[in-house]
Amino acid sequence: MSTRTDRLGGRGVTLDTGVARIIDAEEQHLAHNYHPLPVVVSHGEGAWVTDAEGKRYLDLLSAYSALNFGHRHPALIAAARDQLDRLTLTSRAFHSDRLGAFAGALARLCGKDLVLPMNTGAEAVETGIKVARAWGYRVKGIARDRAEVIVANGNFHGRTTTIVGFSDDPLAHDDFGPYAPGFVSVPFGDASAIEAAITPDTAAVLIEPIQGEAGVIIPPEGYLRAVREICTRSNVLMIADEIQSGLGRVGETFACDREGVVPDVYLLGKALGGGILPLSAVVADRDVLGVIRPGEHGSTFGGNPLAAAVGERVVEMLSSGEFQQRAAALGEHLAGRLGELIGHGVTAVRIAGLWAGIDIDPSAGTGRDVAERLLARGVLVKDTHGHTIRIAPPLVVRATELDWAVEQLGLVLEG
C-alpha cells in the first residue's frame, strides 16, 4: 500500500501501489482540468463499476446522465458491435445507411421535423445558438449582428469560449475572455424577468428546464409554461437544453414534459450516445432548423454511422416508456428515503425522477468530504458548489440498491 497526497485537497489517501501508479501517470501527463475522486474504474455493468483492485461501487453519477441506461447495456453494446463490423465513419461528404433511420426516429420521439447531429453537448448548444441567430436574421428580420439570446443565471451549457462568456460561475468564466456579445442573463425561475428582457432584437431564450450543474435546481411550477407562452407571443424561439435532464432522467422523456411544454428547439446529448460514444443533436421543425444551409455548419464525426446505430437503439428503448416509468417510480421511492435525512446532516433535497441535489449541513463537512467518505463505503457520487452532492443513478438501478446507498449516506453523515 502507498499513501498518496491528493494534489488539491491536501489529504493523505491510502491507495494500492498499482492504483497510485495509475493515478500518478494521469497527474504527470494530463492537464489538471479535473479533480477526480481517488478511484480507478476498470469495469462496469448495469449500475455497478469495479475498480482496478476488484472493489465494486454503486455508480450514482451515471457520467452526469450519459449512462442513463447503465454501463454496457446489452442492447446498446449489441448495436455498437454490429455496426463496428460494418462501417464506423464516412463524414457527411457522403450518405450512410444509418443516419436517416436515426434522424427519423429521433425526430418522431421529439415530435419535430429535422435533426442536426453533432458530437458533444457543448456542440449542440453552440449549434443551437447559431440556428437561433440565423433564424433571427433570416426569418424574424433582426438587423445584422444585433441578435440577442436570453439565458439564465446559474446556467451550465458547456465550456466552449462562447458559452462560458455568459456563465456566472467564476471557475467556468474567469480568465477566458474576451467574451462574445449578444447574451442577456436573467434570474432562473423568474418568467417575468425573461419577458422584461425581450426586445425586438431577441432571437431566443435558452434555458435548462432543470439546472443540473447548479445542484439540480428545479424552477417553480408553471415557469416553463410561462416561458413558452412569452416566447410564442413575442416571436422568440424557446430553446430547451435537455442534455442532462432529457431522455428519461426525470421520469418523462424530457423535463419539459413535466409541464406539458414543447420548446421550439431541443438540445440533446449525453444519454443519446448510450454511454458508449459522444452523440448530440439539435432537433426542431423545418421552419427553424431549415435556416441552416449547406456549408454553414458541420462536423467530421457528426452523425457518424456508429453513433447513429447506437442512437437509434437509444430512441427505440425510450419509445416503450419503460425507462421513464422506472425513473418516475424509483424517484418517488428515493425522494422518500432522502427526505428522512433532512435534519440529520442534510438541509435540503431537490429531486425530479432519478435526479437529486442534496445539500449537506456544513457541520457534516463539504460535498467533497461526503463524496470521499461515500467512496470508502462503495458509493460513487459527485459534489458541486461546495456543500451539495448530486445523485443521478442509472435508470436500471433497483430500489434495494437505492436503499443501501441512502443507508450509507446516513452512516457517513452520522460519523
Q: Which residues are catalytic?
A: 156, 241, 270
CA distances in angstroms from 14 to 2, 62, 372, 376, listed in the order given: 6, 25, 12, 11
CA distances in angstroms from 375 to 55, 240, 386, listed in the order given: 11, 34, 17
Taking Cα atoms as reference points, which of 240, 247, 251 lies closest to residue 274? 247
Q: What is the 3-state secondary structure (H, E, C) of the chain?
A: CEEEECCCCCCEEEECHHHHHHHHHHHHHCCCCCCCCCCCEEEEEECEEEECCCCEEEECCHHHHCCCCCECCHHHHHHHHHHHCCCCCCCCCCCCCCHHHHHHHHHHHHCCCEEEEECCHHHHHHHHHHHHHHHHHHHHCCCCCCCEEEEECCCCCCCCHHHHCCCCCHHHHCCCCCCCCCEEEECCCCHHHHHHHCCCCEEEEEECCCECCCCCECCCCCHHHHHHHHHHHHCCEEEEECCCCCCCCCCCCCHHHHHCCCCCEEEECHHHHCCCCCCEEEEECHHHHCCCCCCCCCCCCCCCHHHHHHHHHHHHHHHCCHHHHHHHHHHHHHHHHHHCCECCCEEEEEECCCCEEEEECHHHCCHHHHHHHHHHCCEECEEECCCEEEECCCCCCCHHHHHHHHHHHHHHHHC
